[in-house]
């Protein structure tokens, strides 16, 4: 998938610029873009390093587990059919880690949760209800601190780099809610 | 309000670590090193995506082709500059990040588009990528309604972002 998208962007960009006579501009852009990419990484670096340091304290002090435990009662409601407590624990940790911007720590928890859910799954090649709900919850996931966004806003000399934390939170809750509602609708339709 | 959140979280987390008698300084350094490695690991994909996105955006394709539908997008109050980001967001977080950065450079991070792009980047996810990774890891090939629900959540997140940014920042 990513192969096609990547090539599609490049192909469309270059062919379109030939048609419109923008090829000189594209030529410059090709060289410029790479240094722009490196600059982007350097812009993100300080906040990522700092935040990963802080969040490591959060993880090692047991705060993340505590945070995840708080989520469990809510998750029991969202996943009524999951009897496996470990699965719920991993789901909670995944969501908690995503929420505080620890994306790289969230993925291992997520994969563990999928393994646990797969054990309860009756048809091994088909996604179970719980898996789908988990995926919707994960991808529409609540992000409290969008680290890279803040870093890039700061680098672009924003007067308030953290301005969009609250708007992002509201939008993310609406997205999660709508995704879960549609999932609920699909599940009910199946049962009938 | 937004500017209080991070400082408060920081005092709370470090303070909690200290109370729990965790070796906070060491642990911080360990995590920070991981941050360095993570950043280093994404460098190649950022350059690759930046390259593709820059070529695409500067070719004038959006203004030229999508511009023909401007009246339609105006009708539904959807800023056309956000469209490439909205379309790429579910597939590649790096590509949408590159577009967001482009919006910052051309329109400014505190403009309507800048704030909107930031909000969207924060409230949506690389749904298709996550789906492929998670389901692939346990060999699930039939994903049923997972994709529709995931993309629907992203779509409502984008629509909600437009409305919320307009209301909260008074555009």
Confidence at residue A148, expressed as pLDDT on a 0 to 100 scale: 86
Chain B residues within an 8 Å CB radius of A165: 2, 5-6, 122
Is A127's CB within 8 Å of B144's CB? yes
Confidence at residue A192, expressed as pLDDT on a 0 to 100 scale: 64
| Element counts in chain B: helices (H) and strands (E) | 9, 0
B111, B118, B151, best to mutate vs chain A, most A CBs in 10 Å: B118
Q: Is residue A163 one of the residues assigned to a domain?
A: yes
Q: Is residue A119 one of the residues assigned to a domain?
A: yes
Report the Cα B144 to chain-centroid distance in Å.
26
Q: How far apart are CA A88 and CA B147, in angstroms?
A: 22
Q: Which residues contact B159 (CB under 8 A, 6 or more apart)?
A: none
Q: Is residue A76 one of the residues assigned to a domain?
A: yes
Q: Which residue of A has its CA nearest to B160?
A: A171
Tens digit of each residue's pLDDT (9 = 90 or more) over A123-141? 999 999 999 999 999 988 7
A9 touching chain B per CB within 8 A: yes
ipTM of model over 0.90: no
Please report the DSSP string for B56-86 in residue order.
HHHTTHHHHTGGGGHHHHHHTT--GGGHHHH
A27 touching chain B per CB within 8 A: no
A88 touching chain B per CB within 8 A: no
Asked if residue A46 has pLDDT above 90, the reply is no
Q: How far apart are CA B125 and CA B96, in angstroms?
A: 10
Q: Tell me which residue in A104, A132, A157 faces B149 most closely, judged by beta carbons.
A: A132
Chain A residues within an 8 Å CB radius of B20: 61-62
Chain A residues within an 8 Å CB radius of B62: none
Give the CA distances from residue B112 to residues A114, A163, B157, in Å, rounded to whole numbers and listed in that order.
Answer: 39, 12, 17
Confidence at residue A144, expressed as pLDDT on a 0 to 100 scale: 81
Report the Cα A137 to chain-centroid distance in Å.
10
Q: How far apart are CA A36 and CA B132, in angstroms?
A: 29
Tell me the percentage of chain B whose pLDDT exceeds 70. Answer: 99
Q: How far apart are CA B167 and CA B151, in angstroms?
A: 24
B168 touching chain A per CB within 8 A: yes
A116 touching chain B per CB within 8 A: no
The pair of three-digit structure tokens given for residue A87, joined into one six-digit string: 């699965």
Q: Tell me which residue in A16, A61, A168 faces B16 most closely, judged by beta carbons.
A: A61
Please tell me the distance in Å from A122's CA to the nearest CA on chain B.
12
The candidate with the shortest Cα–Cα distance to B45, out of B120, B102, B121, B97, is: B97
The candidate with the shortest Cα–Cα distance to B50, out of A51, A98, A43, A46, is: A43
Confidence at residue B15, expressed as pLDDT on a 0 to 100 scale: 96
B68 touching chain A per CB within 8 A: no
Contact B49, B94 (CB under 8 A): yes
Q: What is the mean pLDDT of residues A9-14?
A: 90
Cβ atoms within 10 Å of B163's Cβ, excluding its own = 14
Tens digit of each residue's pLDDT (9 = 90 or more) over A84-106? 888 998 999 899 888 887 776 78
Total number of domains in chain A: 1
Give the CA distances from residue A163 to residues A22, A149, B10, B34, in Å, rounded to whole numbers and listed in that order.
Answer: 37, 10, 18, 27
Is A136's CB within 8 Å of B153's CB? yes
Q: Which residue of B has its CA nearest to A144?
A: B122
The pair of three-digit structure tokens given for residue A1, joined into one six-digit string: 């998938």
**Which residues 151-190 in chain A show a CB within 8 A of chain B?**
152-153, 156-172, 174-176, 178-180, 182-183, 186
A54 touching chain B per CB within 8 A: yes
A4, A7, A9, best to mutate vs chain B, most B CBs in 10 Å: A9
Tens digit of each residue's pLDDT (9 = 90 or more) over B11-34? 999 999 999 999 999 999 999 998
Q: Which residue of B has its CA nearest to A12?
A: B56
Q: Give me the domain span that covers residue A115.
A: 43-191
């Amino acid at each position: 998938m990513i192969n096609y998208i990547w090539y599609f962007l490049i192909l469309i960009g270059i062919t379109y610029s030939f048609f419109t006579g923008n090829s000189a501009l594209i030529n410059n852009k090709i060289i410029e873009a790479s240094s722009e990419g490196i600059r982007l990484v350097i812009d993100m670096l300080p906040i990522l390093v700092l935040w990963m340091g802080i969040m490591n304290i959060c993880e090692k002090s047991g705060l993340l587990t505590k945070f995840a435990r708080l989520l469990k009662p809510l998750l029991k409601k969202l996943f009524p059919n999951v009897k496996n407590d470990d699965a719920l624990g991993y789901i909670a940790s995944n969501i908690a880690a995503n929420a505080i911007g620890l994306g790289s720590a969230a993925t291992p928890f997520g994969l563990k949760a999928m393994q646990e859910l797969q054990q309860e799954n009756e048809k091994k090649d088909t996604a179970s209800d719980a898996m789908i709900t988990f995926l919707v919850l994960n991808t529409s996931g609540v992000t409290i601190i969008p680290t890279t966004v803040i870093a890039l806003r700061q680098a672009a000399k924003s007067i308030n780099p953290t301005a969009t934390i609250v708007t992002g939170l509201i939008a993310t809750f609406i997205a999660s809610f709508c995704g879960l509602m549609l999932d609920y609708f699909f599940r009910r339709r199946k049962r009938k | 309000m937004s500017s209080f959140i991070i400082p408060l979280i920081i005092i709370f987390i470090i303070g909690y670590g200290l109370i729990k008698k965790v070796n906070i300084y060491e642990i911080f350094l360990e995590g920070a090193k991981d941050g360095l490695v993570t950043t280093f690991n994404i460098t190649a994909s950022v350059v690759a995506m930046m390259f593709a996105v820059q070529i695409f955006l500067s070719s004038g394709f959006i203004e030229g082709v999508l511009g023909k539908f401007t009246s339609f997008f105006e009708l539904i109050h959807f800023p056309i500059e956000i469209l490439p980001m909205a379309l790429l967001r579910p597939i590649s977080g790096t590509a949408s990040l590159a577009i967001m950065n482009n919006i910052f450079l051309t329109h400014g991070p505190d403009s309507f588009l800048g704030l909107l792009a930031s909000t969207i980047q924060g409230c949506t996810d690389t749904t298709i990528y996550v789906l492929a990774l998670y389901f692939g890891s346990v060999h699930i090939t039939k994903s049923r309604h997972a994709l529709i629900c995931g993309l629907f959540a992203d779509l409502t997140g984008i629509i909600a972002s437009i409305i919320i940014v307009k209301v909260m920042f008074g555009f």
